[in-house]
Amino acid sequence: MRMNTLVAFFAACLSFSMMAQAGQPRIVSADGSITETVYALGAEESLVGVDTTSNYPPEVRSQPRVGYLRALPFEGVLALRPDVLLTTMEAAPDRTLERLKQAGVEVIQLPVARSPQDTMARIREVGRVLGKGPEAGAMAADIQKRIERIGINTQGKPAQVLFLMAAGNHGVMIAGQDTAASALLDALGAGNAMGDMSGYKPANREALLASRPDAIVVAESRPGQFDIAQWPQLAALDAWKQGRYYVGDSMLLLGFGPRLPQAMEEVAGVLTEARPVASASD
């Protein structure tokens, strides 16, 4: 065991680019969409652990979990003897990250993706770390192509979308400005019907009725979590009655990972019906 520790330590001292060439670096991925990217690039054999936000693809559940990316445990991460901790700027606490660096773990913190450009840049970055540069480049190009195919409405008034989060114990929250939800709507050229407030706030049933959105999107953290029967105010909105709504997985909708085109296609599907002048289709 002592020998292994030494080997892990020396391996960690090498730069990650060298390790990538040498074959498989041991990687702990602490971010759901980075983990998705690792799987999408077919590099999951490098993974030795993930965090609790990593839930897709389903195979990821067999990985050891080091806890939540905002409360990473030093010993827990180190116990997996990673060469690289691949995470985002959201990772915390700083002190744990600092100590991991001291222990010879390469800590790579990628920016938080909030646009298609960020998403593609992040995929390329993950590809570089994994030694899968060409694959990542191809994936980014494919994402670009798929997103271009989704029509972005530039003429007239953008469709106003009410974005809700059905999040466990918080009940239903409304997504305002400065949220990944709002960023997704921006990417689609749509407007946030609740754009006057910022962050996620508990839903006010009257405000829901007053919002009169063109379409509704509900992000669930568990499938089937959102129950429309509990929300008659929503069901009373024209957008809901006329079927211009989409209920889907929150990691898909808000992850800004490899599935971003799929997320955008799903939401665009209910938007095109909301727009009189649909510029969609190629």
Instruction: Check binding of 63 to other proteins (CB under 8 A).
Output: no
Supply the minimum distance, in Å, between the C-beta of residue 98 and other proteins.
9
Site string for other proteins, 198-217 (x = CB under 8 A): xxxx----------------
What φ, ψ does residue 200 adopt, rounded to 5°?
A: -95, 125
Site for other proteins in 65-94 (CB under 8 A): 65-68, 70-71, 73-80, 90, 92-94
Site for other proteins in 164-183 (CB under 8 A): 178-179
Spatial neighbors of 12 by CB under 8 A, at least 6 apart, are: 82, 83, 103, 104, 105, 106
What φ, ψ does residue 79 adopt, rounded to 5°?
A: -60, -25
Spatial neighbors of 18 by CB under 8 A, at least 6 apart, are: none
Q: CA-CA distance, 55 to 251, in Å (whole number)? A: 8
Supply the minimum distance, in Å, between the C-beta of residue 221 and other proteins.
12
Task: Please say which residue, 103 or 108, places its beta carbon nearer to other proteins.
Answer: 103
Q: CA-CA distance, 98 to 92, in Å (whole number)? A: 10
* Number of amino acids touching other proteins (CB under 8 A): 39
Supply the minimum distance, in Å, between the C-beta of residue 33 and other proteins.
15
Task: Please say which residue, 102 or 154, places its beta carbon nearer to other proteins.
Answer: 102
Instruction: Check binding of 226 to other proteins (CB under 8 A).
Output: no
User: Would you give the DSSP letter of residue 158?
Assistant: P
Residue whose entry in the numeric block shows the structure tokens 């606490």 = 93
The two structure tokens encoding residue 128? 């570089």
Task: Please say which residue, 32 or 127, places its beta carbon nearer to other proteins.
Answer: 32
Site for other proteins in 135-164 (CB under 8 A): none
Pairing of strands 191-192, 160-166: parallel
C-alpha distances in Å from residue 241, one per residue of 29, 142, 160, 252: 42, 35, 16, 24
Instruction: Check binding of 9 to other proteins (CB under 8 A).
Output: yes
Spatial neighbors of 7 by CB under 8 A, at least 6 apart, are: none
Q: CA-CA distance, 30 to 53, in Å (whole number)? A: 8
Supply the minimum distance, in Å, between the C-beta of residue 222 and other proteins.
17
CA 147 distance to own-chain centroid? 16
Instruction: Check binding of 2 to other proteins (CB under 8 A).
Output: yes
- Out of 45, 95, 223, 224, the residue judged to bind other proteins by CB under 8 A: 95
Supply the minimum distance, in Å, between the C-beta of residue 64 and other proteins.
6
Site for other proteins in 97-116 (CB under 8 A): 99, 102-104
H or E segment and range at residue 155:
none
Site for other proteins in 23-62 (CB under 8 A): 49, 52
Residues that bind other proteins (CB under 8 A): 1-2, 5-6, 8-9, 49, 52, 64-68, 70-71, 73-80, 90, 92-96, 99, 102-104, 178-179, 198-201
